[in-house]
Amino acid sequence: MLQEPYPELDDLLEMMGEAGQHLAEIEASEGAAGNISVCLRWPIELRTRFPLVDDIELPQPVPELAGATFIVSGSGRRLREIIDEPTANLSCIVINEGGQTGKHYTSYNRRFERVTSEFNSHMAVHYDQMVSSGTNFHAVIHAQPPHMTYLSHVPRYQNESYLNTHLLRWQPETIINLPEGIGFIPFRLPGSPELMAGNVESLRTHRIVIWAKHGVMARSDVSVKRAADRVEYAETAAKYEYLNLSAGEIGEGLTADEMREICTAFNVKQNIF
Ligand SMILES: [Zn+2]
């Protein structure tokens, strides 16, 4: 939930650009992999940056979000290029009354036909979170951090309890930033209704979820950069785990007692350790 003064359009475009650039720096968005969106409920002026308007069918009806604005990356666009030319790589959707359709605001220099192919998941997660928590702002990122994604190919990490007790043990910061741990969704076809449903369910109880053999989705109701941080915390944890596997598992990791001590000291409520 954000308090006034709310960020202006240019601030939001800049933060989405910085998040995209950072995801590229941590190698979580090769080529055109990954996508970003935010949803906000305060009135915002779009026409100066996105003067072209047409109607768009929404992937699902979202009547409670009538009047809300989405800013979303375009299909096939590179997250690292948003920062240089936001209007070429992003567009905005304002939800119409009734929540079945929206007004799609784009720019003359837009370089894509459609919004991201994962927009169904983005919209469904925003919808679920905004309606249940009442927040006026929500950010969602899909990225493909290689160590996280690699571990999701290894059968024993496909168990949520095993995944979290092994990944969260390498640094005290990890559980402080991801107190619910990392959710897990078995392999689902990209862009499919099954992946969308999995995201909605897992992101109710986690801030980040791994899509097996594909990548991650993270959310934040504070900022898009906070969502990107969550991708980085999870990827750093996976990097340590991978390092330990490569070194013949000689690392101790924080013990369950040490993890509980950290959580008590920092007032972290968790049920992983
Ligand atoms: Zn992907």
Q: How far is the CA of 78 from the centre of ligand 1 (A)?
A: 12
Taking the C-alpha atoms of residue 252 and residue 265, their distance in angstroms, rounded to an integer, is 21
Is the pTM above the cut of 0.95?
A: yes
Per-residue pLDDT tens over the stretch 76-129: 999 999 999 999 999 999 999 999 999 999 999 999 999 999 999 999 999 999
Could you tell me the distance, in angstroms and rounded to a whole number, from the CA of residue 81 to the centre of ligand 1? 17
Cβ atoms of 234 and 167 within 8 Å: the answer is yes
What is the whole-number distance in angstroms between the Cα of residue 175 and the centre of ligand 1? 25
Report CA(33)–ligand 1 centroid distance (Å). 5
Output DSSP code: residue 96: P
Q: Is the dihedral of CA 42, 177, 163, 35 positive or negative?
A: positive
140 CB-side CA count, 13 A = 31
Q: What is the pLDDT of residue 247?
A: 98
Q: Kindly report the CA angle at 194 between 212 and 57, in degrees rounded to 5?
A: 125
Helix (H, G, I), strand (E, B) or coil at 50: coil
Tokens representing residue 38 in the block: 């935010």
What pLDDT is stored for residue 202 in this prediction? Answer: 98
Distance of CA 144 from the midpoint of ligand 1 (Å): 6
Terminal Cα-to-Cα distance of the chain (whole angstroms): 29
Ligand 1 center from residue 152 Cα (angstroms): 14
The answer to whether 233 and 174 have CB atoms below 8 angstroms apart is: yes
Instruction: Give distance in angstroms: CA of 117 to centre of ligand 1.
Output: 9
* CA 211 / ligand 1 centre spacing (Å): 9
Helix (H) or strand (E) holding 232: helix 224-246
Dump pLDDT digits (tens) for 131-144: 999 999 999 999 99
Q: How far is the CA of 32 from the centre of ligand 1 (A)?
A: 9
Mean pLDDT computed over 154-169 = 98
CA of 97 to the centre of ligand 1 (A): 31
Nearest CA-CA partner of 208 in 177, 241, 230 = 230
Per residue in 50-85, pLDDT (tens digit) is 999 999 999 999 999 999 999 999 999 999 999 999
CA 172 to ligand 1 center in whole angstroms: 29
CA of 31 to the centre of ligand 1 (A): 11
pLDDT category at 220 given cuts 50, 70, 90 is very high
Distance 18 CA to ligand 1 centre (A): 19
Average pLDDT for 187-209: 98
Query: What is the average per-residue pLDDT within 11-21?
Result: 98
Mean pLDDT of the chain: 98
